[in-house]
């Protein structure tokens, strides 16, 4: 039986396989250590990190919706100092691509976080969280605006030599414009999608099910919309794309890759089952074999439309 080649590249990042654990669904890593061997996964993105520690939103923070969930955690986090002192050393012992999800309430804060962690050799890339729907005033996120997207990425590129991945929001009219703005500003790659803004109401108390009122919808329910956005962005930029949104099987992974993603992120599936990523990795090899594919790189953007 021939070996299946699952190695892939996101620009200068070389991955063992296309599976990355998505920010906010895998903690800082240590929480999952007893369930999975990080050496087996393609990459890992930390929980979003602000410069200072953050308390996050009040509870209830989550609510299950059909085939998905709503969350408004509010980026509870430990801040850059503890992140550098406690989390980065944890990652020294693992051989996988490691990214830091960078958050900020202002443009300056994004830059400050990157500046603080720029010299950390273990950090392979920064995923710039332009898109958390739960923290900015009125739920606005910078990636709703192509100028803000451009300016944040541009400022970060001035001070960072690391790979910069721009994480986009799906809650926009023309995602192509935002993606192009990130590309023009020098982003090395684009990851999408973050969660879709949603809500749910308790009909007895008439109160929203989430304290924050609005939350982000994730899980299998969003997969078709996420896939469409990945394909739209694939058609409009030249930089590589990391696709995500409700992936819960090897078939889902291939759909995103065929639609243009060079790698994918697993999010809510890890919440459902901490071993989901490795289960999908095994499934992916079997599926590639069954479909007579040897090299996953050959499948990136191999979609056939028309004809």
For 49, the token pair is: 């990190």
Footprint on residues 211-240 left by another protein (CB under 8 A): 219-220
Residues 6+ apart with CB under 8 A from 303: 231, 258, 259, 260
The single residue among 199, 271, 287, 303 that binds another protein, judged by CB under 8 A, is 271
Of residues 26 and 296, the one with the C-beta less far from another protein: 26
Measured CA to CA, the distance from residue 105 to residue 204 in angstroms comes to 35
CB atoms within 10 A of CB 115: 14
Q: Does position 31 bind another protein by CB under 8 A? A: yes
Q: Does position 79 bind another protein by CB under 8 A? A: no
- CA neighbor of 126 nearest in space, from 92, 148, 86, 157: 157
> Of 41, 113, 132, 217, which one is the catalytic site residue?
132
In the β-sheet with 62-65, what is the strand arrangement from edge to edge?
A: 62-65, 68-71, 215-218, 196-198
Helix axis angle, 107-117 relative to 146-159, nearest 10°? Answer: 30
The single residue among 49, 69, 156, 266 that binds another protein, judged by CB under 8 A, is 69
Q: How far is the CB of 72 from another protein (least distance, A)?
A: 9
The DSSP string of 137-151 is GGG--GGGSHHHHHH
The single residue among 76, 249, 283, 295 that binds another protein, judged by CB under 8 A, is 76
The single residue among 32, 80, 185, 226 that binds another protein, judged by CB under 8 A, is 32
Q: How far is the CB of 41 from another protein (least distance, A)?
A: 14
Q: Does position 199 bind another protein by CB under 8 A? A: no
The single residue among 86, 273, 286, 298 that binds another protein, judged by CB under 8 A, is 273
Count of residues touching another protein (by CB under 8 A): 33
Of residues 47 and 180, the one with the C-beta less far from another protein: 47
Measured CA to CA, the distance from residue 134 to residue 56 in angstroms comes to 10
Q: How far is the CB of 137 from another protein (least distance, A)?
A: 20
**Pairing between strand 215-218 and 196-198?**
antiparallel
In degrees to the nearest 10, what's the CA dihedral of 34, 35, 40, 43?
Answer: -90
Footprint on residues 39-58 left by another protein (CB under 8 A): 47, 55-58
Look-up of token digits 């759909």: 255
- CA neighbor of 23 nearest in space, from 127, 138, 168: 127
Q: How far is the CB of 203 from another protein (least distance, A)?
A: 13
The single residue among 13, 73, 165, 263 that binds another protein, judged by CB under 8 A, is 73
Catalytic-residue membership of 67: no
For 190, the token pair is: 């684009």
Of residues 189 and 194, the one with the C-beta less far from another protein: 194
Q: Does position 24 bind another protein by CB under 8 A? A: yes
Binding positions for another protein, rule: CB under 8 A: 24-27, 31-32, 35, 47, 55-64, 66-69, 71, 73, 76, 219-220, 268, 270-274
Residues identified as active-site: 132
């Amino acid at each position: 039986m021939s070996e299946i080649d699952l190695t892939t590249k996101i620009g200068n990042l070389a991955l063992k396989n296309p599976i990355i654990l998505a920010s906010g669904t895998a903690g800082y890593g240590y929480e999952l250590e007893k369930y999975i061997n990080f050496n087996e996964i393609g990459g890992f993105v930390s929980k979003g990190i602000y410069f200072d520690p953050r308390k996050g939103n009040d509870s209830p923070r989550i609510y299950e919706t059909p085939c998905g969930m709503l969350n408004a955690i509010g980026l509870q986090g430990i801040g850059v100092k503890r992140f550098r002192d406690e989390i980065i050393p944890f990652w020294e012992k693992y051989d996988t691509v490691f990214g830091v999800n960078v958050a900020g309430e202002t443009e300056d804060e994004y830059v400050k976080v990157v500046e603080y962690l720029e010299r950390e050799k273990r950090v392979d890339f920064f995923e710039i969280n332009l898109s958390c729907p739960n923290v900015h005033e009125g739920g606005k996120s910078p990636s709703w605006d192509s100028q803000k997207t451009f300016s944040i990425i541009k400022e970060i590129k001035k001070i960072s030599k690391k790979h910069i991945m721009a994480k986009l929001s799906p809650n926009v009219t023309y995602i192509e414009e935002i993606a192009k703005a990130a590309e023009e500003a020098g982003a090395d790659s684009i990851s999408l999608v973050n969660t879709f803004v949603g809500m749910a109401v308790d009909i007895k108390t008439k109160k929203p099910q989430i304290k924050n009122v609005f939350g982000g919808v994730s899980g299998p329910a969003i997969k078709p919309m996420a896939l469409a956005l990945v394909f739209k962005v694939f058609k409009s930029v030249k930089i590589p794309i990391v696709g995500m949104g409700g992936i819960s099987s090897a078939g889902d992974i291939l759909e995103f890759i065929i639609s243009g993603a060079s790698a994918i992120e697993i999010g809510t599936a890890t919440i459902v089952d901490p071993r989901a990523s490795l289960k999908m990795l095994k499934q992916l090899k079997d599926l590639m074999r069954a479909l007579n594919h040897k090299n996953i790189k050959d499948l990136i953007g191999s979609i056939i439309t028309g004809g």
